[in-house]
Amino acid sequence: MLPRARAWGLALGLVVGCAPARDEPAAPREPTASSDPKRTVAGAFVPPGPRQRRDAVGSLEGLRGPDRRVFEEGEGLFHPVPQAGPGDWLDEHAERFQTFDDYRTHRTIHPDANRRAIYLVEIGEFPPGSSPSVDALARYVSTYFALPVQRLPPLDLPTLAVDARSSEGRIQLHAKQILERLRERKPDDAFTLVAITMFDLYPDEDWNFAYGYADGATQVGVFGFARLPTDPAQQLQRSAKTLTHELGHAFGVSHCTHYHCVMNGHNHEEEGRRAPMHLCPVDLRKLHHSIGFDPVKRYRRLLEVDRALGFLDEARWLEERLRQIEG
């Protein structure tokens, strides 16, 4: 069984999970050719250079002081997306280089005065000590996206009424059917409704499992934390990272191919573990354009939350980032 993490994209029913079951290891692959200069080449990815990364941020003309520096690379805190190794996401998947200008031109769905809330709903129980704190996740997500987070009453399995199966000693829920239930329950003021669960998920019978499943057209998704680390501190941090990555896709941000960034795609547990929790300058500018927050204030508030939740490495990164921006 070969886990393959696939993140929430914009088309209907993209999977966040693993490839269909196969008994033998995959044969070595030849690089996939591409004639599109804005698309990566699976099996032959080359990280972009400094000029390409700067161009991806877009023109900063007219911005001064901290308002400009917040979207600049600075010194030593942002790094190019790593060279893909065998089995890594960019070794196996072609991706578009989504620049800020691409995003601004083509992305038209944003939060507005009538649909501005992120809604979370739990499926099943989240037992203390063996699952992440939903209160902590809601606090982190609200700070990360500078938007209100609301919680719907939890759904139990009889109420949810979806198919389930047993696999690898875990109960797995049918992710596609969960989305049908979420569409029925999405509040009028919701920009997005996301279900979280400690159950495992599967989208189709021929899949081993999926970390999640989502529909970017109706902005609903479900994400499972069953396969995250069991250590409470690691579990909370990884679930927060997973949730912000997937919600980033709800705002139209594609997988990052410019920097080492929370929006990097990942094919396996180690690739997901080593990704940072923060957005790169390109993706921060996209989210800023969509939501309209003050980036420096967001960094300050996120620093407070990271300290409170014990995300100390990320807190130290934010301290240095704020020092560079504010001078």
Walk along the chain (327 residues) in steps of 10 and give the mean pLDDT of each run: 35 41 38 47 77 97 96 95 88 88 92 96 95 97 98 96 94 96 96 96 89 82 90 94 89 93 87 93 97 97 98 98 94
* CATH number for domain 111-250, candidates 3.40.640.10, 3.40.390.10, 3.40.50.12780, 2.60.40.150: 3.40.390.10
**Residue 327: its pLDDT value, please?**
80
Contacts 24+ apart (CB under 8 A), 168-171: 168/200, 168/208, 168/209, 170/199, 170/200, 170/209, 170/226, 171/199, 171/200
Q: Is 227 exposed, middle or buried (0-12, 13-18, 19+ CB in 10 A)?
A: middle
**Residue 30: its pLDDT value, please?**
42
Residues of the chain with CATH 3.40.390.10: 111-250
**Residue 41: its pLDDT value, please?**
56
**Residue 108: its pLDDT value, please?**
84
**Residue 63: its pLDDT value, please?**
95
The separation between CA 222 and the C-alpha centre of its own chain, rounded to angstroms, equals 12
The residues assigned a catalytic role are 246
- Give the CA angle between residues 189, 254, 92 to the nearest 5°: 140
**Residue 42: its pLDDT value, please?**
54
Joined together, the tokens standing for residue 214 give: 């989502």
Joined together, the tokens standing for residue 44 give: 């032959």
Q: pTM score > 0.85 for this model?
A: yes
CB 248 within 8 A of CB 263: yes
